[in-house]
Structure 1
Amino acid sequence: MPKRVLSVGQCVPDSSSLSRFLTSHFDVKIDQADVENDTMEKLKSTEYDLVLINRKLDADYSDGIELIQKIKAGSDVKQSPLMLVSNYPEYQEQAVEVGAVYGIGKDQYRDPQTAARLQPYLG
């Protein structure tokens, strides 16, 4: 049975790249969410094996780290592992401080470490 992934706030090109990367390494079903409300609704109804959140949501440029905090504080959402999608280590560290697991950067899809980082959740 495929693992379920929720991809949040990616622009169209990044979403395509991320989907290609994930499906080439893992058996996954990927759902998309563009903004906070959509994300929270999906997390209320579905349990995900991994939630990948862009640092800046493409649709409204809201902050992905703030969204992680809201998800972690939400008592009515199913708690799933959360990862930030960002190339910048300082933002990855901020995301970990608010309860995410260390995430991936969109420039790192060719790096074998990236698939290895996702393996515990999607393998």
Structure 2
Amino acid sequence: MAAMARAATTSDAFNAIAEPQRRDILALLRAGERPVTDLAQELGMSQPGASKHLRVLREVGLVRVREAGKQRLYGLDARGLRPVHEWLGGFERYWNESFDRLDTYVQDLKQTRQED
């Protein structure tokens, strides 16, 4: 059973980013490439812990690694987020409608206050 759960985590960007520390890593990598030691230090985690998260992120195509001398630099590969982006896009119409309703409500409130 545990093996199946592991497979799901490593094959799917949705499962990979469900983990808060992995989201933190991706957020840090938006600013540019970093070695694992930097990431671990910044997030207050052990280097093996950070490496484990980076491996999962690499397996789902969210992170790439590049050798630079003796260092391995990890960088964001945002193409891996496309399925997440496309899925979220389906909710955009809902959010826009909600904001439109809110806007109408606020305008009505202002109108009512001016009439009082």
Class of the TM-score when normalised by the shorter of the 2 chains: under 0.3
Structure with the higher helix share, 1 or 2:
2
Structure with the higher strand share, 1 or 2:
1
- TM normalised by structure 2 equals 0.27
Q: Rg larger in 1 or in 2? A: 2
